[in-house]
Chains A and B, each alone.
Chain A
């Protein structure tokens, strides 16, 4: 699938599979035994575990040690404090996923100011510049994820209906891009639909935000949640209201995958490939450490998932056999006459 979104500064994406290390680069990296720290918003989600696995395996292959992994528990103040500390630690590079766009910017700048390489996942805080403040942003094509979410939902909504967007009310580039793309796709391909918006600042509020949307729009005929955890809250709110409303979302979490396979409210998922993203981050980090200037915006396409391919997609995304619940729901292959 093509990459449709542009980077945080309008850059054209360089696909992750086109960014590689030469044999000479690999040898040079192994001789230098780099040390790298990783700062994540959380380390407990499946996405974070796979992302980290891709990073660690790739860095290990090129002789770099991951000396510290920090779980910020979605706390921007904690991230700021940890980055300020890392700026004074003997690490060569820091890989970070910025939590708050504006508030985390200065702490991220401190890493480059201390002479270390900074690699960013998913987004760059507004005002930070590649080459000066960081090496590269490595991200799934979030604009593309929003388009997939819209495309998979459109077929389940009758003409003239009202569709809700369950949006993240925090200044975060990745979720903003998904929402903008969802709205643009709908405006272009389904101008007959009306769009309404519910907002949550914390995933625990997603259920209440959906309930509010349902109350304000009793005719709601479809919903797009900007990632899978709030989508689970939306499912609960819709079931509580005794309704059946199709939902699409982003990320192939276990709960939404099971709902999709079982023919529940989830009708489609735009999946990311976190392990592959981690591999790309590892390669870009080594290139940056060797002063080889990787592209400022490295992107991976999303993967559209429906009930018909959820088992295979699960295997691709999580690199593991699908759980029994998904396999049970898998339709038997049609035999050719």
Chain B
């Protein structure tokens, strides 16, 4: 647990980076600091490992004032991932990761074998350990950065805009991986970003900072979307927050209806919109059977919208947001539900999603 008590950072030129911050970071959770540039989020992060010392106030790490710790020793117990990874260009990937265990007194051999384990953990092939950072892509470098931060198995991980310099697809991958790692490792993670979507996706709790270093709101992502504390937070959270809040509700209550399907190359029994499927019943797209009486050919297929995944056997389903988006993005007006194998399971209607939302409101699952 990390506790900020009335922490203020004022620079000699009078700039106030952080202004009277009181905040408790829960152990074993991901806490995201988010806000526009100049809001003090990175300064707050760097005060935790004493890269920056506060002007006044106290920071407690597991109940102990961090000022009592020798900074280098304190830092060896706190993993740190930086934007652009900050890998050492002159050391191989393996030795980059082995740096921290070696600093903490492990011999080279033990440190390297630990480093090899970590490369595997973050999804990099062991051979890559022999390369230099310049030979890796941005996303791969960032994975090495995460491996290096985890190398000494620190209970706390600080991540300073780690994924902001990679392209959106790679970023999505890295975010998924972080969530997967966290579900196994249960670290206390403080994550800084300027991207509210990233904050909502990753955070167990999100601290929204405003310019001038003041905490505007500290809440769970669903609370933040449902009940922004003020105009600043609601404008920062952005448009479509009602829609995005649906992402936190599972769609298990939404009924999956029937849907007409036709195998590619065959002719549909009835006119109207049908889902064209392949031999394994996976959707290829929609066909408006009124427009042709010929067999369904790949040329006539209109690509359908997003798919909504349900697993009847396991009783799990995607979110209300997935279900609604599937319905809204489909040319036929109903969304395609697929099972875990990707085969068509049925259809989902927008009205059904809205009814499920109304039920969730009544039962108090959604903060009203």
A joins B in a complex: no
Mark B residues whose CB is within 8 Å of A: none
